[in-house]
Amino acid sequence: MIPKFDNFFLPCLQCLSDDNIHNQESIRRYVIDFFKLSTAEANALIKSGKKTQVSDRVSWTISYFLQAGLIDAPQRGTYKINDFGKKFLSEHKGGFDKSDLLQIPSFAKFATRRTDTPTTIVKPSELTDNKTDDKTPTDLIDDAFRQINKALAKDLLTKILEMSPAFFEKLVVELLVKMGYGGSFEDAASVTQYSHDEGIDGVIKEDKLGLDTIYIQAKRWDKGTVGRKEIQAFVGAINMKHASKGVFITTSTFTEEAKKCVKDVQSKIVLIDGEQLCKYMIEYNLGVSSRQVYEIKQIDSDYFEE
């Protein structure tokens, strides 16, 4: 498990305590060894997928240290501990967190954008939040993003249940097309007329060439769960078509027996419950639109080259 953000502070400053000049990569390697992180943990990505969680935490730690005046940047992308940083480390050998950094006026001013005199000593209780002070700004953005999408998924599911079975039939096939199956909506999929139990049966091409066919069943249920019986019936229908692949989508959930049944059969069956369905709709922009876009920017190093 990757340690919390403020747990990175001590090893990062310890890495710099050898008086050598370091870059972010050398600090990152030191931290990975310090925490004995596995390859999977070291390579785990943040939400954007553009940086690892370890690199993100190291980057923000360096930024905090610079604002606190604990380290200097002799050249672009390189860092070295200074005398104040050495003194601070000697006083916090057992570790430190954001509340300790907030005792440094320059960092307190940075963290709170205060305009009072830099000699003001700030009480940690006035400026820290136990729920957030161990997270990087990137972590906080990701948390907010997840909360917004969780609420959106709930609203999406409610909206889907208000629509007709025929609409749900179209939604399911359109989603699979957006996920890359087949070509256009018209060419990729054919769907039978929905049945009286508000489920649908349909087929979709696995790829644009139509080399294989995937059978679809969807149940728009607002009550109950899909059990082993429904899965067995679906598998039987697929076998009757001499096929081996299927997707079972429901607005409800699957019982443990249903999930076990999928593992026991030879056919490759993918189960998508209501929560996952809405997540896919958000990811592939089906039934949703962007309300507001925030751009997170960084220094353009190329611009500052002479």
DSSP 8-state code for residue 281: H
Domains of the chain, first to last: 5-135 (no CATH), 155-283 (3.40.1340.10)
Nearest to 214 by CA among 291, 275, 167, 268: 268
b (16+ CB within 10 A) / e for 256-270: eebeebbeebeeebe
Given a contact cutoff of 8 angstroms between Cβ atoms, the answer to whether 168 and 274 are in contact is no
Given a contact cutoff of 8 angstroms between Cβ atoms, the answer to whether 120 and 106 are in contact is no
pLDDT value of residue 201: 65
pLDDT value of residue 200: 55
Q: Quote the CA–CA distance of 267 and 263 in Å, as a whole number.
A: 9
pTM of the model: 0.68
Instruction: Note down pLDDT in tens along the chain; length 306 residues.
Output: 899 999 999 999 999 999 999 999 999 999 999 999 999 999 999 887 888 999 999 999 999 999 999 999 998 889 999 999 999 999 999 999 999 999 999 999 888 764 444 444 444 444 445 555 678 888 888 888 888 899 999 999 999 999 988 888 789 888 998 888 876 666 555 655 444 444 456 788 877 776 788 889 988 888 889 999 999 999 988 888 888 899 999 999 999 999 999 999 988 999 999 999 999 999 999 999 888 777 777 777 667 766
pLDDT value of residue 142: 86
CB count within 10 Å of CB 11 equals 20
